[in-house]
Amino acid sequence: MTETLLSPPDLPAPPVTLLTEAALFLDFDGTLAPLADTPDGVDVGDDLLSILARSRDALGGRLAIVSGRSVATLRDLGLGDFLLAGTHGLEFARPGESVNAPPRPPAIDAVEAAFHIFADDKPGLLVERKSISVGLHFRRAPIWSEDARDLAERLAQQHGLTVQRGKMLYELRPGGADKGSAVRKLMQDAPMAGGVPLFIGDDVTDEEGFAAAVALGGAGILVGAPRSTLATFSLEQVTAVRHYLTLGIAEQNFRRLSS
């Protein structure tokens, strides 16, 4: 990416009016829900589901969740009523429809086995099996971060896979997609087509999403701690994201009543 990286202290808070014509793309972990020590430690409560449903309805359906998690996991978390892009843009699903995804490569099974061997005698490491990828989490054992990186890079080269770095995580998956390609694909069709793309995310894996949104005339919102980013606005934390969406719903309702 050749776009100029901005320093978060230079980033303003996003105006609520940014949501007026938005095609809203939302990361999940660290954006809609706080990061947890383990992938299954996240709780999606009724409050969040209500905010998402009301935001989607206020935007005429233009809301999608774009996550590193698989579509199956997102649905298990209770997000099946929303347009989903999973595994960093490799999977797509509309509510009530089957998942559009490539088959699981045999190489992922080989990597998963190698990850388990590596993690077996190292308490705190966690191997996360996904539909077409596999992750190695070291949040509870950061001492192994460099070894995890070296293993992931070696296995990726050996099997022709892509290393996806996340927060305290190395994930191996097929290449050819990212959150930016997910934005571009979803913007081509209803319900997202015709809106102005707005991507909200917290991780380095969301930078491609920011870049795609900006390139298509929209914006990105970085959530969390300051760092170099392609985003154009910032919010401090998950609660700020939920508050921002709630304000957006109120703004849309006010505009409807005033028209």
pLDDT value of position 191: 97
- At residue 124, the pLDDT reads 94
Nearest to 19 by CA among 185, 246, 256, 209: 246
Roughly what angle, to the nearest 10 degrees, separates helices 46-58 and 238-258?
A: 40
Side-chain-side CA neighbours of residue 192 (13 Å):
27
Q: Please, which pLDDT band fits residue 194 given cuts at 50, 70 and 90?
A: very high
User: Residue 85 in contact with residue 65, Cβ under 8 Å?
Assistant: yes
User: What are the DSSP calls for 89-158, one per residue?
Assistant: TTEEE-TTS--B-PPPPHHHHHHHHHHHHHHTTSTT-EEEE-SS-EEEE-TT-GGGHHHHHHHHHHHHHH
The yes-or-no verdict on residue 259 having pLDDT over 70 is: no
Q: What is the pLDDT of residue 35?
A: 84
Q: Quick one: pLDDT at residue 167?
A: 83
Query: Which comes out higher in pLDDT, residue 42 or 72?
Result: 72
> What is the model's pLDDT at position 201?
97
Average model confidence (pLDDT) across the chain:
92
Token pair for 200: 């909200």
Please name the helix (run of DSSP H) or strand (run of DSSP E) that holds residue 246, with its range, or none.
Answer: helix 238-258
Kindly tell me if the per-residue pLDDT of 142 is higher than 90: yes
pLDDT (average), residues 218-242: 94
* From 11-15, 40-44, 59-63, 93-97, the region with the lowest mean pLDDT: 40-44
Q: Does residue 121 carry a pLDDT above 50? A: yes
Q: Which amino acid is at 158?
A: Q
Residue 255 has pLDDT above 90, yes or no: no
pLDDT of residue 2: 39
Residues 5-46: tens digit of each pLDDT: 444 557 899 999 999 999 999 999 999 999 877 777 888 889
Residue type, 1: M
Report the pLDDT averaged over residues 168-173.
93
**What is the per-residue pLDDT for 1?**
39
Which region, left, alpha or beta, applies to residue 49 given φ > 0 means left and ψ of -120 to 50 means alpha?
alpha
Query: Tell me, what's the pLDDT at 94?
Result: 97
Q: Is the pTM of this model over 0.75?
A: yes
Provide the pLDDT for residue 7: 46
User: Residue 221 above 50 pLDDT?
Assistant: yes
Q: How far apart are CA 28 and CA 74, in angstroms?
A: 9
Instruction: Point out the residues that are catalytic.
Output: 27
